[in-house]
C-alpha cells in the first residue's frame, strides 16, 4: 500500500469528475463534478506530503485549495441562480445567448 495506490485512486476520482463534467448537461451536477476534481487533487498533495513529512507544504497547499474551492462553489451557484432567472432552466445546452 504505497504512495502509488493513492495516486492511482486520485486519478480515478479525477476521471470520474471529468467524465461527469463532460457528459452531463445539468449545471448543478457539473459544479459537483468540479468539486470532485478539486478533491482528488487534495489526495495527491497529501500523499506526497506524507512521503516527505519534514515540512507541511503539501498540507498548506491543500488548505488553500479547500478555501478557494469554497469560494468557487459560492460564486458558481450564484451564477447558476442568475442564469436560472433568465432562462428558467439550468440546462447548459440552453446557454446560447453569446452564440449569435
Partner 1 sequence: MTSAGTILFVTTAIFAMAGGLATISARRPLRAAIGLLVHIISLAGMFLTLNAQLLAALQLLVYAGAVVVLFVFVIMLIGPASEVRPIEGRFASRTLSLAVTIAIVLAVSTSLAYFDLPWGAASEDFGTVEGLGMAIYSEALVPFEVVSITLLVAIVGAVAVARSRTE
List binders of partner 1 among 48-77 (CB under 8 A).
49-57, 59-60, 62-64, 66-75, 77
Tell me which residue of 19, 29, 24 sits closest to 80, measured CA to CA. Answer: 29
Burial of 17 (0-12, 13-18, 19+ CB in 10 A): buried
Nearest distance in Å: CB 91, partner 1: 4
Smaller CB distance to partner 1: residue 93 or 98?
A: 93
Q: At what angle do helices 3-23 and 27-51 cross, to 10 degrees?
A: 170
Cell 459560492 belongs to residue: 74
In whole angstroms, what is the distance from residue 5 CA to residue 51 CA? 13
Nearest distance in Å: CB 49, partner 1: 8
Nearest distance in Å: CB 77, partner 1: 5
7 contributes a contact to partner 1 by CB under 8 A: yes
86 contributes a contact to partner 1 by CB under 8 A: no
Nearest distance in Å: CB 95, partner 1: 12
Smaller CB distance to partner 1: residue 7 or 99?
A: 7
Amino acid at each position: 500500500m504505497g504512495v502509488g495506490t493513492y495516486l492511482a485512486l486520485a486519478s480515478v476520482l479525477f476521471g470520474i469528475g471529468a467524465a461527469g463534467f463532460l457528459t452531463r448537461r445539468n449545471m448543478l451536477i457539473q459544479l459537483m463534478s468540479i468539486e470532485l476534481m478539486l478533491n482528488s487533487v487534495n489526495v495527491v498533495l497529501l500523499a506526497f506530503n506524507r512521503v516527505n513529512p519534514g515540512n507541511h507544504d503539501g498540507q498548506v497547499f491543500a488548505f488553500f485549495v479547500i478555501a478557494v474551492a469554497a469560494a468557487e462553489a459560492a460564486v458558481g451557484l450564484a451564477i447558476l441562480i442568475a442564469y436560472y432567472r433568465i432562462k428558467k432552466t439550468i440546462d447548459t445546452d440552453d446557454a446560447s445567448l453569446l452564440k449569435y
